[in-house]
């Protein structure tokens, strides 16, 4: 298969249209998105004040529990990202063809729709016993680990390995898993803000 054929195949696989594959720029944009998501989470938590333990109903999570859930989910997604990053680095090191277009991250935004939601598995349910300081320091470490995974990838190498992610019924490459961490964090930062506003309105 020549490179044009490979690129055509990439397009059929659901990647975006050829964009000249500015991988350094793509890495920077992804890094920025991850940083923004973790910052949003941290700011939302910092702004909680007495609302930190507020639960609209006994069944719903408090802002602190939401944040704990994010850390538990990050642990799983970072495991996958790290695993794929190792494969991607290995394949890049062996000279595999780096795709000439960047991954279709807008696909992930569709996952924000309610139709694509799924219940968090037991391993990602918050215990409610994690103190705020530990949640925030864990989120900081998660952010640093995300950066480190991304920084460990030669430009484009994250697109060389993917895995079937059955909760969403699709395959994601390293970049998409990192973007999923950001998307998940963004979503829950909004949830924490909503909960804080609801707590303030109820007092």
Partner 1 sequence: MRTVPIVLVGGGIAGLATAWWLAQLGAREVVLLERSPALGRSATGHSAAILRSASDELLLEEFALASARFLCDPPGGFAPRPLVERVGVVLLGRGRESPPQGWERRVAHQRHARALQPAEFARLAPWFRAHGEDAWYFPGEGRVDVERTVASFARGAAERGVELRTGAGVLRLERDGARHVLELSDGTLLATERLVLAAGGWSARLGRAAGSRIELQPTRRHLFLLAPRAGVDARGPIVWNERLGFYARPERGGLLACACDTAPGAPEQHAVDERALRAFRAAAGEHLGLDTTPDDGWSGTRTFASDERFVIGPDPDVAGLHWVAGLGGHGITAGAAAGELAARQLLGLPHEARFARAFAPRRLLGALVPTR
Please identify, using beta-carbon distances, which residue of 54 and 188 lies nearer to partner 1. 188
Interface with partner 1 (CB under 8 A), residue from 18, 31, 36, 75: 75
Specify the stretch interacting with partner 1 by CB under 8 A; choose among 17-25, 26-34, 85-93, 186-194: 85-93
Residue 97 binds partner 1 (CB under 8 A): yes
With the C-alpha atoms ordered 113, 120, 45, 147, is the resulting torsion angle positive or negative?
Answer: negative
Q: What is the closest distance, in whole angstroms, from the C-beta atom of residue 85 to partner 1 in the complex? A: 8
Short-list 131, 89, 101, CA closest to 21: 101
Q: Which stretch binds partner 1 (CB under 8 A): 29-37, 91-99, 105-113, 184-192?
A: 91-99
Q: Per CB under 8 A, does 78 bind partner 1?
A: yes
The residue from 18, 21, 29, 83 that contacts partner 1 (CB under 8 A) is 83
Residue 72's alpha-carbon distances to 41, 184, 186, 202, in angstroms, are: 14, 12, 15, 29
Q: Taking CB under 8 A as the rule, does residue 149 contact partner 1?
A: yes
| Candidate list 8, 28, 46, 148; residue touching partner 1; CB under 8 A | 148
Q: How many CA atoms lie within 13 A of 91 on its CB side?
A: 19
Instruction: Give residue for tokens 């950001």.
Output: 182
Chain centroid to CA 88: how far?
18
| DSSP annotation of 130 | -
169, 201, 202, 203: which one binds partner 1 (CB under 8 A): 169
């Amino acid at each position: 298969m020549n490179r044009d054929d490979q690129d055509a195949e990439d397009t059929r696989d659901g990647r975006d249209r050829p964009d000249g594959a500015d991988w350094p720029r793509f890495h920077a944009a992804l890094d920025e998105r991850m940083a923004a998501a973790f910052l949003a989470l941290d700011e939302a938590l910092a702004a909680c004040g007495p609302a930190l333990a507020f639960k609209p109903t006994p069944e719903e999570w408090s802002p602190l529990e939401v944040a704990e859930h994010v850390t538990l989910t990050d642990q799983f997604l970072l495991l996958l990202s790290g695993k794929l990053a190792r494969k991607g680095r290995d394949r890049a090191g062996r000279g595999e063809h780096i795709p000439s277009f960047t991954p279709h991250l807008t696909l992930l935004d569709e996952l924000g729709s309610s139709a694509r939601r799924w219940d968090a598995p037991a391993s990602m349910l918050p215990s409610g016993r994690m103190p705020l300081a530990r949640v925030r320091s864990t989120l900081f470490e998660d952010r640093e680990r995300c950066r480190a995974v991304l920084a460990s990838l030669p430009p484009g190498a994250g697109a060389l390995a993917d895995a079937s992610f059955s909760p969403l019924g699709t395959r994601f490459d390293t970049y998409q898993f990192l973007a999923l961490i950001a998307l998940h964090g963004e979503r829950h930062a909004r949830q924490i803000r909503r909960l804080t506003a609801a707590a303030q309105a109820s007092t």
